[in-house]
């Protein structure tokens, strides 16, 4: 199941806590050329849990799923192949 979070910190934090092995797409948007800002992370990636982002993590839309294939299919609907995987958590 795909979950979207925009301007909704509490529900996003709850989703992360309940799905620590899930996946999060950080949807910055922009042109398809700006693919490197649009990143799929593991839900436990430290980049998603930086204290400096507290209270504003969902200013940038988060699209989440426990199923990587389903998440990729969802993302491809509006980003084509214009996204990357986090080089830190998805090695």
Could you tell me the pTM of the whole model? 0.92
Residues paired with residue 84 on neighbouring β-strands, in sequence order: 39
What is the average pLDDT across 46-55?
Answer: 91
Q: Distance from CA of residue 57 to its chain's centroid?
A: 10
The pLDDT assigned to 58 comes to 95
For the segment 56-80, the average pLDDT, to the nearest whole number, is 95
Per cent of the chain over pLDDT 70 is 98
Using alpha carbons only, give the angle 67, 29, 45 rounded to the nearest 5 degrees. Answer: 45
Q: What's the mean pLDDT in 12-41? A: 90
């Amino acid at each position: 199941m795909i979950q979207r979070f925009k301007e909704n910190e509490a529900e996003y934090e709850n989703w992360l806590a309940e799905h620590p092995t899930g996946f999060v797409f950080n949807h910055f948007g922009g042109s398809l050329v700006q693919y490197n800002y649009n990143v799929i992370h593991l839900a436990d990636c430290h980049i998603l849990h930086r204290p400096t982002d507290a209270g504003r993590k969902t200013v940038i839309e988060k699209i989440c799923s426990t199923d990587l294939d389903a998440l990729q299919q969802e993302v491809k609907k509006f980003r084509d192949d214009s996204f990357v995987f986090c080089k830190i958590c998805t090695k």
